[in-house]
């Protein structure tokens, strides 16, 4: 491991390749994990509840008589909501309210219009019938993640949100259950791993099959989601979390150091990068990093992440900073500058953009309103934050009058015959007037 | 193979399992194809143009000196446009105009708003920088498919649409090139197979890497797209085409038979199903099928498809017809009934809905306006037609005032500490006023 944070400068001759090396992340598939996951999927698909019970006993060391014992009723969620400290409950409710308010603006409406022939064209928007939400158990159990995944589904109009959360050795996280209560989760099963993904995808005697599975998970969960894609929809497979901070050198360096830490503390593979045109400021932030690091609860994780994958990048100006950012297409982008709106036009790819010195990325993780499930590893080039649109789908609407069918039938006939598809042509021609 | 079309009735005791059996479609992965595709992807990723040239020589029997010879300039596309028969050109232009008009209504706008603290929240919509469009060569080369894939990308604002189309033995389809000219495709390379997908995903010395790859292809292309998913975005992996016709028994049975044929002629695995509450009408359509089949150019394909995967289903009424349709979640749904709008509320899952007796599905394939790239194999439960939204992505916008950061920092702090993420908490707390 490096003993200092990587420094790059866009003027260095090998900047492009050095940046590429910094960003490189190995997401190659582990074939042993693959085999194991496929076995679990097949087994649950074939044997249903019995297989889920066996895997839960094996992996979570939970022995129960029937799947019914692995379902938690609404009264258990309410119990958790009443048991957690009052300030946590208030914070969860406030966060939920803001997340709901933002996501309501994403709601899509069906539309129809008529063209000059009276032809009806349109798009009908329908929520998914049922969504599955995977929530990791144990130490990485994040109640905020329950809100961020379940609320968009409910805002979209999904009738039934089914949550699965493993409780290894029976350990339950009350804050997670409280968040489920607040978010309006409909059913909760305390199962996890590939067996939970399989149960949601194929359905069992007890667990209903869903139309889409969302939510974070370990390598077994991610692999299982990838495998069942097609049978059900899935959200993106997430890579390690990243933040890119662009700073004009006028924000308190301690603030910036802590913002970088807030990604780095997620895990050793997380990536925190600072870009500035002010070389002295980069030095000041490095000094802050060295000063603050020993005071951090998750010091070891942060150090490994900062030294292994972090970087301080010197650029010529904010314009060039935006170019570097577009190259990276970061999950989180902080514009810690005087006039962030002025930079927006230059920013083409980012999961979420945090504008101005007061907008700590951590606020977005919890309670700003927008979703914290964001595209990682450069996939912001082509994908979006989790949203209401992920829980709705569209159907095209087409309705021809006899006149429209006559006019358009002639066009379709020519093209269909040009493609050698004569049943298409004749089907259209039946509707042409003599 | 059956010697008669399958008949089902919702009153039969085993209807559910019989329907499930009818719909079952084996999309299991061929491991030999997988291995071969992985080899091609790795090779193109490592060796770029040289590897693409070798595979093109091997699979398409095309030997050229350099990749530059495999690019077709705009003048070649214009030449094709001028060479095709006038009626085909007019039909393509008319279709393109309608497809463009419909898709322009799908364009999404960025938005921002301020909450009571002055906090800015919003969503910035940005087109992808570059999209790749795969077009099959040989007998399955469909100019309509070029329009349907390229136009939404251009309407979305994608700066560069790169089309790849194999020309085995040098055979070029002028109508495909003409469609590319009309749709505004920016660059065309005459390469195909997994090597073309690899070139688009990773980029080579000559072919620029894209952000998303769309378009149909054979098993090698589909497998390659699945493999590069994550490096780039992809559209859905399509299964065989399907149509479900719901008819009240008052449409000419010949029309309905031909509508069923228009799916069946695509390939032997295509699925055409008719649902009606009128048993006599089902008999009449079967008679039409038997009468018309011998007159069809693609008789053998249609027969195999109709006998192997087609069905005539008797239901109690239109309400039950909608239920059967929701269970199938068809790619194409024809509502060949008196009042199709009245049925819309009951239809939850369908790629495209064709309303009324005059709306032949074939019109939608070519020139109605909506896209003909639609979710197959029941995936309309959770996915949508190809659209402008597939070529745009969203970035969340968050901008806190000092007051907003103060208020929300307190909420974030409680939640972050509840999750044991103290760098998150301290980053938020820096922005809290004393």
In this structure, are residues B311 and B22 in contact, taking their beta carbons and an 8 Å threshold? yes
Q: What confidence score (pLDDT) does residue A28 get?
A: 67
Average pLDDT value for residue range A210-221: 93
CATH 3.40.50.1980 residue spans of chain A: 6-25+239-368, 29-109+127-234
Q: Which residue of B has its CA nearest to A95?
A: B411
Which residue out of A332, A334, A349, A361 is catalytically annotated? A332
CATH number of B6-25+239-368: 3.40.50.1980
When pLDDT is cut at 50, 70 and 90, the band that residue B238 belongs to is: confident
CB of B32 less than 8 A from some CB of A: no
- Catalytic residue of the set A331, A334, A349, A372: A331
pLDDT for the residue B3 = 85
| Chain B hits for A93, Cβ within 8 Å | none
Tell me whether B407 touches chain A (CB under 8 Å). no
Distance (Å, rounded) from C-alpha B94 to C-alpha B370? 14
Please give the pLDDT value at position A30: 76
pLDDT band for position A245 (50/70/90)? Answer: very high
B180 burial type by CB count under 10 A (0-12 exposed, 13-18 middle, 19+ buried): buried
Residue B28 has pLDDT above 70, yes or no: no
Q: Give me chain B's average pLDDT, please.
A: 95
The predicted model gives A171-184 an average pLDDT of 95
Grade residue A3 by pLDDT with cuts at 50, 70 and 90: confident
Task: Determine the pLDDT at residue A67.
Answer: 94
pLDDT at B434 (0 to 100): 77
What local confidence, expressed as pLDDT, does residue B29 receive? 67
Least confident of A43-47, A327-331, B170-174: B170-174
Give the residue-averaged pLDDT of A60-72: 93
pLDDT > 70? residue B1: no
Of the residues B103, B286, B332, B372, only one is catalytic, namely B332
Residue B303: per-residue pLDDT:
97
Give the pLDDT score at B392: 98
Sign of CA dihedral B340, B342, B346, B352: positive
CA distance B143 to B185: 12
Q: How far, in Å, CA of B30 to CA of B39, rounded?
A: 15
Residue A155: predicted pLDDT: 98
**Alpha-carbon distance B316 to nearest alpha carbon in chain A (angstroms):** 24
Task: Indicate the burial class of A17 (C-beta count within 10 angstroms; 0-12, 13-18, 19 or more).
Answer: exposed
The answer to whether the Cβ–Cβ distance between A258 and B88 falls below 8 Å is no
Sheet-wide strand order for B160-164: B71-72, B187-189, B160-164, B130-134, B212-214, B233-234
pLDDT band at A247 (very low <50, low <70, confident <90, very high): very high
Among A263, A345, A376, CA closest to A311: A263
- Chain A nearest C-alpha distance from B26 (Å): 12
For the cut 90, the answer to whether the pLDDT of residue A434 exceeds it is: no
Q: Does B64 touch chain A (CB under 8 A)?
A: no
Q: Can you tell me the mean pLDDT for A186-191?
A: 97
CA atoms in the 13 A half-sphere facing the CB of A347: 32
> Which of A128 and A170 is assigned the larger pLDDT?
A128
Give B205-252 as a DSSP string.
SSSPP-SEEE----HHHHHHHHHHBTTBEE-PPP---EEEEEE-S-S-
Give, as one character, the DSSP assignment of residue A229: B
In angstroms, rounded to a whole number, what is the distance separating the alpha carbons of residues B276 and B317?
Answer: 8
Domain B29-109+127-234, what architecture?
3-Layer(aba) Sandwich (3.40)
A414/B contact by beta carbon, under 8 A? yes
At B137 the pLDDT is 85
Residue A139: pLDDT band with limits 50, 70, 90: low
Within the 238-297 window of chain B, which residues sit less than 8 Å (CB to CB) from chain A?
252, 254-255, 258-259, 261-262, 264-266, 296-297
Provide the pLDDT confidence category of residue B236 given band limits of 50, 70 and 90. Answer: confident
Range name among A153-167, A291-305, B100-114, B139-153 with the lowest pLDDT average: B139-153
Kindly indicate the confidence band of residue A1, based on its pLDDT and cuts at 50, 70 and 90. Answer: low
Strand partners, B71: B189
DSSP 8-state secondary structure symbol assigned to residue A377: T
Q: Report the binding-site residues of B for Zn(2+).
A: 263, 266, 365, 424
Query: Which residues face A377 on adjacent strands?
Result: none
| pLDDT band with cut points at 50, 70 and 90 for residue A140 | low
Q: Percentage of chain B surpassing pLDDT 90?
A: 89
Q: Please give the share of chain A, as a percent, with pLDDT higher than 70.
A: 98
Q: Is B95 on the interface with A (CB under 8 A)?
A: yes
The reply to whether residue B358 touches residue A431, judged by beta carbons under 8 angstroms, is yes
pLDDT of residue A237: 77
| CA-based nearest distance B189→chain A, Å | 21
Task: Kindly name the residue from B331, B334, B349, B372 that is annotated as catalytic.
Answer: B331
Q: Given an 8 Å threshold on Cβ–Cβ distance, is B412 in contact with A366?
A: yes
Band of residue B237 on the pLDDT scale cut at 50, 70, 90: confident
pLDDT of the residue at A29: 67
B130: three-class secondary structure by DSSP: strand
CA angle B416, B419, B421 (to 5 degrees): 60
- Which pLDDT tens digit goes with each residue over A333-372? 999 999 999 999 999 999 999 999 999 999 999 999 999 9
Catalytic residue status for B331: yes
Q: Residue A330: its pLDDT value, please?
A: 97
B161-165, B209-213, B315-319, B416-420: range with lowest mean pLDDT: B416-420
B39: its two tokens:
């080899």
Q: For residue A202, say whether it is annotated as part of any ligand binding site.
A: no
Q: With an 8 Å Cβ cutoff, is B367 touching chain A?
A: yes
Q: Is A353 in Cβ contact with B398 (below 8 Å)?
A: yes
Pairwise CB contact (< 8 Å): B358 & A106: no
Within 144-203 of A, beta carbons closer than 8 Å to B belong to: 144, 175
> Annotated catalytic, A39?
no
- pLDDT on residue A322: 98
Selected residue of A116, A343, A382 to mutate for chain B interface (largest B Cβ count, 10 A) = A382
Residues of B in contact with A302 (CB under 8 A): 423
3-state helix, strand, coil in chain B (%, to 5): 50, 15, 35
pLDDT digits (tens, 9 = 90+) for B275-293: 999 999 999 999 999 999 9
| pLDDT surpassing 80 at residue A26 | no
Contact B240, B84 (CB under 8 A): no
Are B427 and A417 a contacting pair, CB within 8 Å? no
Neighbours of B269 (CB within 10 A): 17
Question: How do residues A396-429 score in pLDDT, each as one tens digit?
Answer: 999 999 999 999 999 999 999 999 999 999 999 9
From CA A322, how far away is CA A343, in angstroms rounded? 8
3-state secondary structure of B9: strand
- pLDDT tens per residue across span B283-340: 999 999 999 999 999 999 999 999 999 999 999 999 999 999 999 999 999 999 999 9
């Amino acid at each position: 491991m490096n003993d200092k944070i990587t420094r790059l400068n866009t003027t260095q001759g090998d900047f492009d390749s050095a940046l590429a090396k910094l960003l490189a992340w190995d997401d190659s598939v582990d074939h042993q994990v693959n085999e194991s996951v496929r076995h679990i999927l097949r087994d649950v698909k074939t044997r249903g509840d019995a297989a889920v019970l066996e895997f839960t006993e094996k992996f979570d060391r939970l022995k129960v008589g029937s799947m019914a014992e692995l379902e938690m009723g609404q009264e258990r969620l309410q119990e958790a909501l009443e048991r957690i400290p009052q300030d946590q409950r208030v914070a969860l409710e406030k966060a939920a309210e803001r997340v709901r308010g933002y996501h309501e603006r994403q709601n899509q409406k069906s539309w129809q219009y008529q063209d000059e022939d009276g032809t009806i064209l349109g798009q009908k928007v329908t929520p998914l019938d049922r969504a599955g939400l995977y929530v990791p158990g144990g130490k990485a159990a994040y109640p905020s993640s329950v809100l961020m995944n379940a609320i968009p589904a409910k805002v979209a109009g999904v009738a039934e949100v089914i949550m699965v959360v493993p409780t290894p050795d029976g350990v339950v996280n009350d804050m997670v259950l409280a968040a489920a209560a607040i978010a309006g989760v409909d059913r909760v099963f305390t199962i996890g791993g590939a067996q939970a993904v399989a149960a949601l995808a194929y359905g069992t005697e007890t667990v209903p099959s869903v139309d889409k599975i969302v939510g974070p998970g370990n390598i077994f969960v991610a692999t299982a989601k990838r495998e069942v894609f097609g049978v059900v929809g899935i959200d993106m497979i997430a890579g390690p979390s990243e933040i890119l901070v662009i700073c004009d050198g006028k924000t308190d360096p301690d603030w910036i150091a802590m913002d970088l830490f807030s990604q780095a503390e997620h895990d050793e593979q997380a990536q925190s990068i600072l870009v500035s045109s002010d070389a002295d400021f980069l030095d000041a932030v490095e000094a802050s990093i060295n000063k603050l690091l020993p005071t951090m609860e998750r010091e070891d994780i942060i150090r490994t992440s900062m030294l292994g994958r972090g970087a301080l990048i010197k650029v010529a100006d904010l314009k060039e900073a935006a170019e570097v950012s577009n190259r990276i297409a970061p999950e989180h982008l902080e514009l810690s500058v005087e006039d962030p709106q002025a930079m927006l036009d230059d920013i083409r790819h980012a999961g979420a953009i945090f504008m101005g010195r007061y907008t700590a990325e951590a606020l977005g993780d919890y309670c700003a309103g927008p979703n914290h499930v964001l595209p990682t590893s450069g996939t912001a080039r082509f994908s979006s934050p989790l949203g209401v649109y992920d829980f709705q789908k569209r159907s095209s609407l087409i309705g021809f009058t006899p006149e429209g069918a006559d006019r358009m039938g002639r066009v379709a006939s020519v093209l269909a015959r040009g493609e050698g598809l004569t049943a298409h042509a004749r089907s259209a021609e039946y509707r042409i007037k003599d």
